[in-house]
Amino acid sequence: MRILVAIQGHYGQRIADNIRKYGSAEWKVFSYTFAHDLPAIIDDADEFLPKELPAADLLISLGEHPGVAQMIPDMVKKSGAKAVIAPADNRVWLPPGLANQIKRKLESMGVDMVYPVPFCTLVEKDSQNPHIKEFAKYFGKPEVDIELDKDTIKRVAVIRGAPCGCSPYVADGLVGIWERDAVEKAGLLHHQYPCLSTMVMDQEFEDTLMHRGGLMTKLAVEKAIKDVKVAK
């Protein structure tokens, strides 16, 4: 699978690097970096895009300005992408109204788009598109496998990692921790990584997206520990 990642700064670069490090060896991951000083309204995307972009099956839009999201249909045309993942780790970068507008535009082009909020909530069932499903096998809502040595964490294996790279960091930090403390410790490690999702209160979830991301990690650890106990 060929993946094109549109980035604008450290937030997107960290995710692109993590995809290259922990994704399938068969994937080809390209990136294009936008300037930071984009106008509020993009009248002509050709002013900000190269004449050609790498051919891709999947486009992941990780801009830190709504102008990047406005150019998603143009990036799709130039890359030939058949699917788009446009997460919102900060609603300012991609507001719901703009996301819905882009999604309708892409549907008219025969391109599927998902809008995970935040990125680490993505799961395979979010889309029937094979490229999105393939990506979500590796990245999205964290899933881990835990091995206990009596009451302590002996080993943590990442099955599906948060796109930012947080999951391996959390997994390493849990080894040697008392099982009863593991869920809360996972939440602390998630914040320390650090999570770059916004701390602004989200109206839809009545919580911050950073806390929602931390919850995904804590739930993964909680489920893995329960699975171990059930198997005994």
Q: How many domains does the chain have?
A: 2
Residues 107 and 166 in one domain: no
Residues 115 and 182 in one domain: no
Model confidence over 188-212: pLDDT tens digits?
999 999 999 999 999 999 999 999 9
Model confidence over 107-121: pLDDT tens digits?
999 999 999 999 999
**Structure token pair of residue 92:** 């300012």
Range of the domain at 185: 143-231
Residues 218 and 184 in one domain: yes
Is the pLDDT score of 230 beyond 90?
no
Per-residue pLDDT band for 232 (boundaries 50, 70, 90) equals low
Residues 94 and 159 in one domain: no
C-alpha closest to that of 184 among 172, 196, 174: 174
The predicted structure's pLDDT at residue 13 = 98
**Residue with tokens 């390209």, as numbered in its chain:** 30
Average pLDDT for residues 168-188, to the nearest whole number?
98
**What residue type is assigned to position 203 of the chain?**
Q
Give dist(CA 130, CA 178) in Å, integer: 40
CB distance 11 to 196 below 8 Å: yes
Q: How large a percentage of the chain has pLDDT more than 90?
A: 98
- pLDDT, the chain, mean: 97
The predicted structure's pLDDT at residue 231 = 77
Final residue before a domain boundary, out of 121, 138, 155:
138
The predicted structure's pLDDT at residue 130 = 98
Residues 133 and 162 in one domain: no
Residues 37 and 120 in one domain: yes
CATH number at residue 152: 3.30.390
**Structure token pair of residue 181:** 């403390």
- List all residues 6 or more positions away from 150 whose beta carbon is below 8 Å from its beta carbon: none
